[in-house]
Structure formats: C-alpha cells, structure tokens
C-alpha cells in the first residue's frame, strides 16, 4: 500500500478530483482500510491509501475561506469530493484502486465487502458509479 500523491491527471479541467479508471473507497477507520489493502495485495495493482488529513487537504474542492463565493457544481464530481471531505472530517480513510472493468470491480468489491465501508465511487470516462 502506498501513500497518495495528487497528480494533475486526477483532476478535471476545473481542478476537481476525478481519477478516471479508479475507484475510491472510504472506511470508518484506518485499520479497516489497511485490512482491505492487505487482502487486495498486489492482485489488482497498486493500492493507494488516503488518510483523513490528505483527503481534506488534497481533495477539498473549496477552501473554507471562499465559502461565500462558491458556485454550485455542474456535475456530481464536486459533490462526490465534498462527501469525501465530510467523511474525512469524521476520521474516515480511503483506498484508491485501479478498476478498469466490471470483472475487476466485482472481484475488488467482494474483498471490500468483508469490511464495513462508508462510501465507494468508481470513476468512468464520463460518469461516476456508486459501488455497493
């Protein structure tokens, strides 16, 4: 498991977090995230860990200082990033895993469901998929 490093390729043109081809899965604790990362191992490529502080610092689509100037997001990606930050403020950790197809999704989610997870999103080219 490696630590998250934000890359420009993970952002939309407007700067919103959108890691196309990946899933971001949040867990109520770091221990749960680590257990899932260990269970996934290297079978699905690199598993990236995002701790609550990193989520709040790197994925927050709005700085609190410009809250009065915020405009509503046109797409759901802004709302998704806001949800990530809300959960991080409650102490949730996240894993980011490459999820190129439905077969990989099914295999990864079978492992993820062995733990309690709080929120999971898969980023397609033009849509975000809720994972359950």
pLDDT the model gives residue 62: 63
Instruction: Give the range of the structural domain holding residue 36, as residue numbers without chain letter.
Output: 2-130
Is 70 exceeded by the pLDDT of residue 68? no
- Whether 37 and 95 have beta carbons less than 8 Å apart is answered as yes
Question: pTM here?
Answer: 0.86
Residue percentage of the chain with pLDDT more than 70: 89
Task: DSSP letter for 10, please.
Answer: G
Residue 75, Cβ neighbours under 10 Å: how many? 14
Helix 102-112 to helix 30-40 angle (10° resolution) is 130
Total residue length of the chain? 132
What are the pLDDT digits (tens) for 4-15? Answer: 999 989 988 878
| Count of domains for the chain | 1
In this structure, what CATH number is given to the domain that contains residue 100? 3.30.70
Is 50 exceeded by the pLDDT of residue 74? no
């Amino acid at each position: 498991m490696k630590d998250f490093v934000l890359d420009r390729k993970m952002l939309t043109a407007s700067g919103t977090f959108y890691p196309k081809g990946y899933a971001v899965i949040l867990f109520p604790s770091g221990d749960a995230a680590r257990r899932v990362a260990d269970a996934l191992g290297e079978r699905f490529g690199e598993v990236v860990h995002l701790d609550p502080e990193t989520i709040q610092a790197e994925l927050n689509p709005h700085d609190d200082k410009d809250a009065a100037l915020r405009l509503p997001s046109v797409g759901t990606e802004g709302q998704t990033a806001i949800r990530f930050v809300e959960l991080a403020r409650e102490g949730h950790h996240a894993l980011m895993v490459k999820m190129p197809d439905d077969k990989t999704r099914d295999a990864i989610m079978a492992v993820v469901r062995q733990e309690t997870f709080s929120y999971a999103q898969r980023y397609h080219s033009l849509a975000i998929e809720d994972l359950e």
